[in-house]
Amino acid sequence: MINKLYPWQDALFHQWMQAGETRHHALLLYGKAGIGKLNFAQTMAAGLLCLQPQHGFACGACQSCHWLSEGAHPDFKEITPEDDDSTEGSKKKTRKRQQILIDQIRVLNDYLSLSAHRVQGMRVVLIHPLEAMNVAASNALLKLLEEPPQRTQFLLVSHQRQALLPTVLSRCMQVEMPVPSREQGLQWLQTQAVPDAEWLWFYSGGAPTAVQQEGVDLYGWFQQCRPHLIGGAKMDVALAVSVLIKQGMEQAIQALQKWLLDLWLSCHQQPLRYHPADVAGLQGLAAQVNLSRLLAFQQQLNRFKMTAQHPLNQELQLEQLLLQYKKMFG
């Protein structure tokens, strides 16, 4: 599908598509993860490249739309961290790089120095996430932004604007991306036919596109995790590991972080952010928890998340973390 706009983005989309020639050549679309920034940028790219757009939206039928859906549009370049193939012994491993490298920007530079495929047409460059560029890549991009090629639209997507170089920021039009209201988010989740839209809305922290992925039943999974977490000091760690790991290590860590934040809020009689339906269970735990151990464990999880790229022995790592969880109570 070529048009992937979310309902809370309609007004902004039309504003930027109608801007035409007056539109800034480099739009920085920023905001928290999980609100649909990349979809917005992709929809905009398709609309700009389409030969017969309708109200700014790509038609889905012309040659340009066809190329784009095939991933082979000569006037569209997408730049994102690339896969890194390495061999260890006899095993071939592919892992996602964390960075956008300067070579990728050099290739872009060469590409942009040639003329566009269509004489009067636009070229679109989509870079995401922008904070993945290392300093060398940022400086190379800066040169392009300072002397932009004609009829080229840069769409730059960032979850962490504060991590970008000020020089790069100064060359962009910064566009704060809208977040869905509770009503908009719930309505959208309901159209996705998820088993519990209300739960998912809160669990996502108001950023529903990050948690709602086709074929992933986070709600069903958390139903299984919940009794283990509520168990506190009585948690059976081996059983809890086998359940929490089911959606992968990253989801397990996130689930623990969200649960701990709500536990902390519960200790301070604050409204819960991610699990308002579990207020009773969390209050029960708040009565038993040692606050300084809670804080120490939160910090440990943050550190763990920063370093947790290596896939070694995840069950064992999670087991260690859950032992820490148990020790907070009693």
Exactly one of 27, 29, 50, 125 binds Zn ion (CB under 5 A); that residue is 50
Question: Judged by CB, which is closer to Zn ion: 62, or 230?
Answer: 62
Which C-beta is closer to Zn ion: that of 56 or that of 231?
56
Task: Pick the stretch among 17-25, 45-53, 291-299, 312-320 that binds Zn ion (CB under 5 A).
Answer: 45-53
Residue count at the site for Zn ion (CB under 5 A)?
A: 5
Q: Which residue number, 60 or 149, has a Cβ lying nearer to Zn ion?
A: 60
62 vs 142, beta carbon nearer Zn ion: 62
For Zn ion, the binding residue among 4, 24, 32, 59 (CB under 5 A) is 59
Return the residue of 26, 35, 48, 65 that touches Zn ion, per CB under 5 A: 65
Q: Which stretch binds Zn ion (CB under 5 A): 50-58, 156-164, 188-196, 318-326?
A: 50-58
In this chain, which stretch among 53-61, 96-104, 276-284, 287-295 interacts with Zn ion, using CB under 5 A?
53-61
96: tokens are 């996602």
Compute the least distance from the CB of residue 154 to Zn ion, in Å: 21
CB-based contacts of 83, cutoff 8 Å, min separation 6 = 94, 95, 96, 97
Which residue, 62 or 261, is less far from Zn ion as judged by CB?
62
By beta-carbon proximity to Zn ion, the closer residue of 62 and 102 is 62
Closest separation between CB of residue 175 and Zn ion, Å? 24
| Positions in 228-267 near Zn ion (CB under 5 A) | none
Q: How far is the CB of 47 from Zn ion (least distance, A)?
A: 9
Report whether 165 contacts 138 (CB < 8 A).
yes
User: Please, what is the minimum distance in Å from the beta carbon of residue 45 to Zn ion?
Assistant: 12
To Zn ion, the closest distance from the beta carbon of 36 in angstroms equals 22
Binding positions for Zn ion, rule: CB under 5 A: 50, 58-59, 62, 65
